Amino acid sequence: MTDAAPPSHPPPGPTIRVLLADDQALLRGSLRVLVDAEPGFLTTAEAATGAQAVQLARQEPPDVVLMDIRMPDMDGIEATRQICGSPQTADVRVLILTMFDLDDYVYAALRAGASGFLLKDTPPGELLAALRVIAAGEALLAPAVTRRLIAEFARRPEPSQRLGRALNGVTAREREVLTLIARGLSNTEIAERLYLGVATVKTHVSHLLTKLDARDRAQLVIVAYESSLVEAARPWPPDSPHSRPT
């Protein structure tokens, strides 16, 4: 008898626990099949309303909540706010599902503590990749998405309400990095603009997250605009230099 053939895939890492929150049973079922079929993933529960999502997240905290915005009883924004704002579920990440990439609720969802958002027609592989990104503590806010948020800020006739978090203690260099984050630049692009190493930029980002009590990069974008560090009405041309080498 010969030895069994080795597995075609490496053993999965720690299981990523996912809570599905959507008022459409068919969509929840499809998402559950997708998530549970992927090695290293497990659906912990399904919620049909925002209130159920909050309750289930407290009973058995998942790593990520895949959250619909429009649900009965309590919408996804309020559910996100309660989950992200409670010490009991402070480590739970929320990934918003939306029908439209310019949904008026996206901005409010990010302010509520969401770590990013996806369109409901996202290909399955990209959705699973997004769950991995969010579970790892990163923000799913690509530069193109950030630029759409900038457009949202720009079209608002009234000044954005401040978060109440001053930029005290943030160094001049960190302000430069924060400004470029808010303009939609990646760490690599920021490093090129400021003539820094990517590792140095990552260190600045880490310091900003700590100093501004921000959950992730998405929250840094919000802080930059609501502290008036960046003005949406005055976009920075993407091909213009932002800083001189030091």
For residues 175 and 167, is the Cβ–Cβ distance under 8 A? yes
Q: Would the pTM of this model clear 0.75, i.e. be above it?
A: no
Q: What local confidence, expressed as pLDDT, does residue 39 receive?
A: 94
pLDDT tens string 150-186: 666 656 545 444 444 578 889 999 999 999 988 778 8
* Tally of CB atoms within 10 A around 140: 22
Helix (H, G, I), strand (E, B) or coil at 102: coil
Whole-number pLDDT of residue 224: 84
Share of the chain above pLDDT 90, in %: 42
Domains and CATH numbers, the chain: 16-140 (3.40.50.2300), 158-226 (1.10.10.10)
- Scored b (16 or more CB within 10 A) or e, 214-238 reads bbbbbbbbbbbbbbeebebeeebee
Q: How far is CA 192 from CA 19, 101, 185, 219, in A?
A: 39, 29, 10, 23
* pLDDT score for 229: 82
Q: Tell whether the model's pLDDT for residue 10 goes beyond 80.
A: no
Q: How confident is the model at residue 73 (pLDDT cuts 50, 70, 90)?
A: confident
Task: Tell me what pLDDT residue 214 has.
Answer: 82
pLDDT at 101: 57
| Rounded-to-integer distance, Cα 36 and Cα 96, Å | 19
